[in-house]
Amino acid sequence: MNLTKKRWIVLFASCMINLCIGSTYAWSVFASPMAKHLSEINGLTGASALTAGSLALAFTICNSIGPVTMITGGRINDMIGPRWVIFIGGLLFGLGMVVSGFATSVPVLVIAYGLGCGLGMGMVYGCTINNSVKFFPDKRGLIGGIATATYGLSSVIVPPIADALIDSVGVTETFEIFGILFLIIVCGGAFFIQKCPSDFVPDGFTPHIQKGNSGVARDKDWRQMLKDPIAYIMIIMLTCGAFCGLMVVSQASPMAQSIVGVSATVAATAVSIIALFNAAGRIVAGYLSDKFGRINTLSIVFVISMIGLGLLYVSKAGNMAMFMTGVSIIGICFGSFMGVFPGFTADQFGPKHNSVNYGIMFIGFALAGMFGPMIVSKVFAATGKYQDAFIIAAVMAIFGLLLTFVYRKREKA
């Protein structure tokens, strides 16, 4: 089988692997039951009892530490290929989930879930996305969208299953079951992954040399990328774009319960809905960015995200339709940023070093993963509501939109 056909097998395996590591987005379903479990075994009651917000640090670290192994794993990927990087990352991720099930305190959970799953996720995600994009130079936006969409789609599939398992066997056993399953799928799937040759050109495709304004072919390594001011504009742009998505994803279930007044089971639907639109946004925006340009697509998404935040801001008790509409918009916008940026980075700095370059670019996502959940948790703890957090996210979206104009101006300079 030639590589033009075999690349689809590599893409399918990558998608199945991403489906597993994307389970981190379902954190809000685990948070409340785990807080209750840890409170019970440690004898914490009343005001001292743990809440979902008390465990937010685990989710924050999990999302913010990914670039560490995305960058180092990307470098190893460039040298020896993605197979063993994904295998080792799968071990870290799966064992992190299993050990989370044995956690008896918040620090242990932070180490197991935050560090274990976060470091494993970074190794796996960086390799699967960038290797897939390299195999498809003829449709980078679409493939980047598909590969990242399965990562987001996990939150459609995992929450109802996790919710049912938690009700049936308990939250700790659920962590263990998922951990063992992910170990099998990710580590096994790694052996279906093949490194994309540097000179690969799919049948029927004529590559064009990407050039900067100086007319010099553009294929920069990480040092050259970091000397380009455009890199920092893009990183901050990604931070602004991912901020409100991660803020809402991390607290989607508690938000639905607090704002609309629904049960935990119904609130789990909000997690699945945001994940469904998250996955759809990655594919649709990736495809549109191939047609109309990355920066034009991102500008539109920033505007749409403000509308979604506005709907969440005005949502009230009993108004599930408005809340879910807002959540859906935030989901599709969040997915759009994640789907566009792999191809955007390869376009801007060339595909040759994209494994490392995108790992550095992903620092923008890590910053959003650090501050988004932290800010929404602190705002709710201080005010007892989420409205002020939505305002902060809207300001971030406005700033991100302004950066798209800065990017255009810089590119024309």
- Joined together, the tokens standing for residue 252 give 């989607």
Q: Is residue 288 over pLDDT 70?
A: yes
pLDDT value for 18? 94
pLDDT value for 330? 94
Averaged pLDDT, 393-413? 93
Report pTM.
0.78
DSSP secondary structure letters along 161-214: HHHHHHHHH-HHHHHHHHHHHHHHHHHHHGGG--PPPTT---TT------B-TT
Averaged pLDDT, 101-115? 95
Quick one: pLDDT band at residue 208, thresholds 50, 70, 90? low
pLDDT value for 120? 95
Amino acid at 270: A
Domain boundaries, the chain: 3-42+51-199+214-412
Q: With H, G, I as helix, E, B as strand and everything else as coil, classify residue 160.
A: helix
Give tens-digit pLDDT for 296-312.
999 999 999 999 999 99
Q: Distances from the Cα of 308 to the Cαs of 144, 331, 401, in angstroms?
A: 24, 9, 15
* Greatest pairwise CA separation for the chain in angstroms: 67
Q: Distances from the Cα of 265 to the Cαs of 96, 159, 218, 253, 393, in angstroms?
A: 26, 10, 51, 9, 27
Tell the burial category of 200 from Cβ atoms under 10 Å away from its Cβ (0-12, 13-18, 19+): middle
List the beta bridge partners of residue 211: 217
Q: Which has the closest alpha carbon to 271: 371, 87, 279? A: 279
**Average per-residue pLDDT in the chain?**
89
Which CATH superfamily, name and number, covers 3-42+51-199+214-412? Answer: MFS general substrate transporter like domains (1.20.1250.20)
pLDDT value for 213? 38
pLDDT value for 19? 93
Poorest-pLDDT segment among 37-41, 351-355, 359-363: 351-355
Quick one: pLDDT band at residue 217, thresholds 50, 70, 90? very low
Q: Is residue 95 over pLDDT 50?
A: yes
Give tens-digit pLDDT for 315-358.
988 888 899 999 999 999 999 998 899 889 988 998 888 888 98
- Joined together, the tokens standing for residue 143 give 């493939």
Helix axes 140-169, 27-41, angle to 10 degrees: 30
Q: Is residue 204 over pLDDT 70?
A: yes
Quick one: pLDDT band at residue 212, thresholds 50, 70, 90? very low
